Chains A and B, each alone.
Chain A
Amino acid sequence: MKLIILENYSQASEWAAKYIRNRIVQFGPGPGRFFTLGLPTGLPRDHPESYHSFMWNNFFKHIDISPENVHILDGNAPDLQAECDAFEEKIKAAGGIELFVGGIGPDGHIAFNEPGSSLVSRTRVKTLAMDTILANARFFDGDLSKVPTMALTVGVGTVMDAREVMILITGAHKAFALYKAIEDGVNHMWTVSAFQQHPNTVFVCDEDATLELKVKTVKYFKGLMLVHNKLVEPLYSMKEMGAERNQSKKPYSD
C-alpha cells in the first residue's frame, strides 16, 4: 500500500488527479486499447440529481470520451441480476479495470459494499445500510421513505480484480474508517480492508483523515512523500511523443 498524506482536501484532490493523469498517459491508450477507469455506482437514473447527471456535469462533458465507452449500471433494467452479470462481462471485454478510483464511507464501505458484504462479492443488487440511506436523504427532500433502499454495485471481488486501486479519503469523519482499513485486520465489517491483500493500492488522504492512525504510521508515510511525489512530477502530457514517454518511469509497486 502507498499512503499519500496531503494537507487538505484540495491538495489531496489535486495529487490524485495528477496521479490518474500520469497513469493514463503512461498507459498510452488508443483505439482498441482502453484505459478502463472504474468508479463506484450512485443514485438511481430517474432522479434529477441522478448519477448520470452527476457524471455528465462533473466529468463526461469536460472530456472527449465516446458515449459507447461509458458503462453505467442501469437501476431501471428489467432484470437487475442480469444487468449486473452483463456489467461483469463488459469489464472483461474491455480488458479488465486498469485503475479503480473510489472513496469510503464512514462505515468503511467501498462502493455500496456495506458492512457484512462478502469480500469476494461480484456486481450485484445490494441493500443499503441505514447510514447510507440517511446520507442520501438530502437528494430526496429529506424524506427517508423516498430514498431507495437497494442499489446496484460492483462487488469487493470485482474491485480486487482491478490492476490498481486508488481510494480517496478526506475529512475527520472518515478517520476511524481509515484506521480500520489499514491498521486493523481484514474484516468484512470494514470492506475497504480487503485491499490489504491487493498488490497495488494507493490511499490518498488529508491530515484530518489520519486522526485515528498511530503517529508512527503517519510519520513513516510522510517520510516517503519525497519518493511518492515522483509519481506526479513530472506531469506527463498525451502530446509528448516518442522517446520522452518511453523513458518515463512506470509507477513502482511496493
Chain B
Amino acid sequence: MPSNKSVSDAPIVQFTNCRILRDHQLQREDLWVREGKILNPEKLFFDEKGSADVQLDCKDSIIAPGFIDVQINGGFGVDFSLATDDFKSGIDLVSQKILSHGVTSFCPTLVTSPPSVYHQVLPQITVRNGGAHGAGILGAHLEGPFISKEKKGAHPEHCLRTFEAGAFQDLLATYGSLDCVQIVTLAPEMRRSSEVIQELTKRGICVSLGHSVANLSQAEEAVQHGATFITHLFNAMLPFHHRDPGIVGLLTSDKIPAGRRVFYGMISDGIHTNPAALRIAHRAHPKGLVLVTDAIAGMGLAPGRHTLGQQVVEIDGLNTYIAGTKTLSGSVATMDTCVRHFQEATGCSVETALEAASLHPAQLLGIEHKKGTLNYDSDADFLMLNDNLYVQATYIAGEEVWRQDASGM
C-alpha cells in the first residue's frame, strides 16, 4: 500500500457504495474519513499521493450527518431536571441510548426548576465530545423559569420567576453558572428582557422565545436584540391570529436583521402539532425548521407514570400528559421517529427531512463548520440509514458507536 505519510500516519477509511448527503442533495459519492474528520479525497490523491487503508461497503445505505437534538429533557427513566446523586450516570445513560436514534450531539434540557436544582445540576453537565460512550454534549438548554404564567404548560407555577428587579444578575443568580449553557428559553414580553437577551447573546448563548404571550412586535424586538430560536413552535404561545400573528409571525417577519435567520423547533411526533400546522410552518419558512424531540424521562420506557422535574406525568402510547390532566408535557418520540414523521407529513424530500435534524440545528448553534454536514474537515459524526430513514449504524468521529443488529434491538 502506498504511504500516506505526507500529512498524517492515521488510517484512512473509505466508505463506498453509498449515497451521501452533501450540498443539500443525496449524491453517489464515497465518504473518506481520517482522524475523526471528513477527508477531501482529491487533495489526498494529488497533494499527498495517498489512498485508502480500509474500504467499507455500505450496501447502498444513505449516509447523513448525525442528528442534533437541542431539546431533550431526559429519557430511559432519567430526568435532567432532577438533582439526584447519580445525575452523572443518568446523563451518561441517555447519551449512550440515543445513539440508536441517530443522535450524535444533544443539549440536555432543564425545565423550570428552583435555583437549588440549577446550582446542583449545572456544574455536573460538561460540554464534551461524543464517542463510544455516547452522544456529544453541546451544552445545556435552560427552558425557564423566566417564562409566562399563562403559557407555563407543564412547568410548575411556583418556580416561575421574573428578572424585572436585577435583569441579567437575577438570571445569573438563579442559574448559578452559565459556563456550559448553550440555549436559554424565555418569554420576551417580560420586563427588561431586552437587556437579558443582549447579555446572553454577548456570551454566545442562543436565546429562544417560548412559553410566552408575546405579540409579534415584542417577538421582533427580541430578535433584534439577539434572539434566534423559537421553542416548540405553536405550543405554549399565543395562536396565530391574522391581525397579530404573535411569535408564529416571526417565520415570515420582515423585521429580522439582515444576514440573520430565525430558527424554530418543531416536535413532529404527530401529537404536539397537527400535520397541517406542521406543513404550514414548513412551507412558510423551510430553512428555519429544527426538529426536536422534547423527550422526557419516559421516552424509551413502558407506559405509566414518570417524573418531569417537579411534576408527575402519565404516558399513554405516544401521548404524555400531566397526571390527571390533558396538558401535554414533553414527548416520548425518538429523533428518528420525528424525522420519519416529518418526511411523511410534509411530503418533503429525504434531504430536507435529514437536514431539519442535522444541518439546521448546527446552523442555529453556529457550529455548522464542524457539525451537521459531511463537508470536508467537518467532524465525522454520521449515520447510515436505509431508504425508509431507519438508522442502521451511528458513527462519531469516524468510529462506529452503534449498529442495528439482526434482531432489530
Q: Please list the residues of chain A having a beta carbon within 8 angstroms of any beta carbon in chain B.
A: 52-53, 56-57, 60-61, 66-68, 70, 72
Contact = CB atoms under 8 A, between A and B. Distances in A.
Interface stretch (B41-49, B108-116, B307-315): B41-49
A60 B49 contact: no
A69 to B, nearest CB: 10
B138 to A, nearest CB: 33
Given A61-B41, A67-B2, A68-B2, A52 B46 contact: yes
Interface string B41-77: 1101110111100000000000000000000000000
B377 interface: no
Given A61-B30, A67-B49, A67-B51, A52 B42 contact: yes
Interface residues of chain A: helix, strand, loop or mixed (majority): helix
Interface of B: 2, 30, 41-42, 44-46, 48-51
Nearest to A64: B51
A53 to B, nearest CB: 7
Contacts of B46: 52, 56, 67, 70, 72
Nearest to B29: A61
Task: Choose among A53, A60, A67, A72 the residue with the greatest number of B CB atoms under 10 Å from its CB.
Answer: A67
A60 B2 contact: no
Given A56-B42, A60-B45, A66-B51, 12 more contacts: A52-B42, A57-B42, A61-B45, A67-B2, A67-B44, A67-B45, A67-B49, A67-B50, A68-B2, A68-B49, A70-B45, A72-B46
Contacts of B30: 61
Contacts of A68: 2, 49
Nearest to B4: A67
Contacts of A52: 42, 46
A60 to B, nearest CB: 6
A56 B2 CA distance: 18
List the 4 shortest-distance A-B pairs measured between CB atoms, nearest first. Answer: A67-B49, A56-B42, A67-B45, A52-B46
B49 A56 contact: no
A70 B41 CA distance: 15
Contacts of A61: 30, 41-42, 45
A41 to B, nearest CB: 15
28 contacts: A52-B42, A52-B46, A53-B42, A56-B41, A56-B42, A56-B45, A56-B46, A57-B42, A60-B45, A61-B30, A61-B41, A61-B42, A61-B45, A66-B2, A66-B51, A67-B2, A67-B44, A67-B45, A67-B46, A67-B48, A67-B49, A67-B50, A67-B51, A68-B2, A68-B49, A70-B45, A70-B46, A72-B46
A18 B393 CA distance: 39
A32 B172 CA distance: 71
A56 B43 CA distance: 10
A115 B146 CA distance: 78
Contacts of B50: 67
Contacts of B44: 67
A68 B44 CA distance: 12
Nearest to B45: A67
Task: Choose among B30, B49, B50 the residue with the greatest number of A CB atoms under 10 Å from its CB.
Answer: B49
B47 to A, nearest CB: 9
Contacts of B2: 66-68
A19 to B, nearest CB: 26
Contacts of A56: 41-42, 45-46
B148 to A, nearest CB: 51
Contacts of B48: 67
Contacts of A67: 2, 44-46, 48-51
A241 B30 CA distance: 30
A25 to B, nearest CB: 23
B387 to A, nearest CB: 24
B27 to A, nearest CB: 11
A61 B41 CA distance: 8
